[in-house]
Structure 1
Amino acid sequence: MIFAYQRPIHFADTDSAGVVYFARLLSICHEAYENYLTKKGINLREFFNNNHTAIPIIHAEIDFFYPVFCGDIVIINSKITKINDKVFQIDYLIKKEEENIGKGMTKHICINPQTRKTKPFPAHFSEQFFH
């Protein structure tokens, strides 16, 4: 399933050369992830402040094909793939109009925040998130 998120590039997203700063584009991909969680009915406050389950990012990458400037409208197409009962990956295709301008990826793992040990995704999360 592909989920689209659209957003303008703000001045604060750019570096001294006037192009989007690499870490900001990865942050915008995370905004797309948060927007997906919200659309799936997941309460962000509860999700990010849960004493029983945490789903941190264990790997992230971003590749640029073309520069992005202040005022550009970007569309982040996110594809979520469940790797196993503890890990999922989100692949991001970043577009400006119809042109692919970059791609990114984040890999997430489910853990118990108290023990920091991996654990399977809770059933209620899997039902909301992966369907």
Structure 2
Amino acid sequence: MIFKKDFTVRFDQADPAGILFFGQAFFIAHQTIEEFVNHLGIEWKDWFQNGQWGVPIRHAEADFKRPLFPGHKYLAQLQIENLGNSSIRFQVKFFDGDSVCAHLILSHVFTDVNTLKSRPIPEDLRKLLLPYEVNELPGTNLA
């Protein structure tokens, strides 16, 4: 499955050249993840402030294919590239029509808040996340 959300690039998200500042792409991707979590029926506080575990970012990367402009509407699509024992790798793509403008990868690790060591993804969350995992052969996923 794919989670989708529309977004508009705002004036204050642009750089002096009038295109989306690269750092703002990560901001929009994180907003997409937050909305995805809410879409799954998980309360914000249960994901971000539950007192047992956290989900910090371990790795982030982005490939920019086309510029994104303030005032224009785009589509963000989120899938889970990999659902590991203790980690989750989100891929978020920004589309303008059928064209990919940006492809971001955000890897998070479920971490015990007391020990700060990785811990397994809670089974109830895993069941909610699993339908969004990419089930394609390597090399067949659009970049």
Instruction: Give TM-score, length-normalised by structure 1.
Output: 0.93
Partner Cα distance (2:82, 2:48) in 1: 20
Q: How does 1:81-120 map to 2 (within 5 A)?
A: 81-120=81-120
Deviating more after overlay: 25-34 vs 80-89: 80-89
Q: How many percent identity over aligned positions?
A: 24
Partner Cα distance (2:7, 2:102) in 1: 15
Deviating more after overlay: 1-10 vs 80-89: 80-89
Report the Cα offset of residue 5 of structure 1: 1.3
| Contact 1:42/1:128 (<8 A) preserved | no
Report the Cα offset of residue 127 of structure 1: 2.5
Instruction: Give TM-score, length-normalised by structure 2.
Output: 0.85
CA deviation digits over 1:15-57, x for unaligned, max 9?
Answer: 1211100010111011111111001000002311121011111
Give structure 2 stretches of 5+ with no counterpart: 132-143
Q: Superposition RMSD on alpha carbons, in Å?
A: 1.3
What residue is the counterpart of 2:31 in the other structure?
31
Report the Cα offset of residue 83 of structure 1: 3.6
What residue is the counterpart of 2:71 in the other structure?
71
Partner Cα distance (2:76, 2:98) in 1: 12
Report the Cα offset of residue 62 of structure 1: 1.1
What residue is the counterpart of 2:17 in the other structure?
17
What residue is the counterpart of 1:52 in the other structure?
52
Give structure 1 stretches of 5+ with no counterpart: none
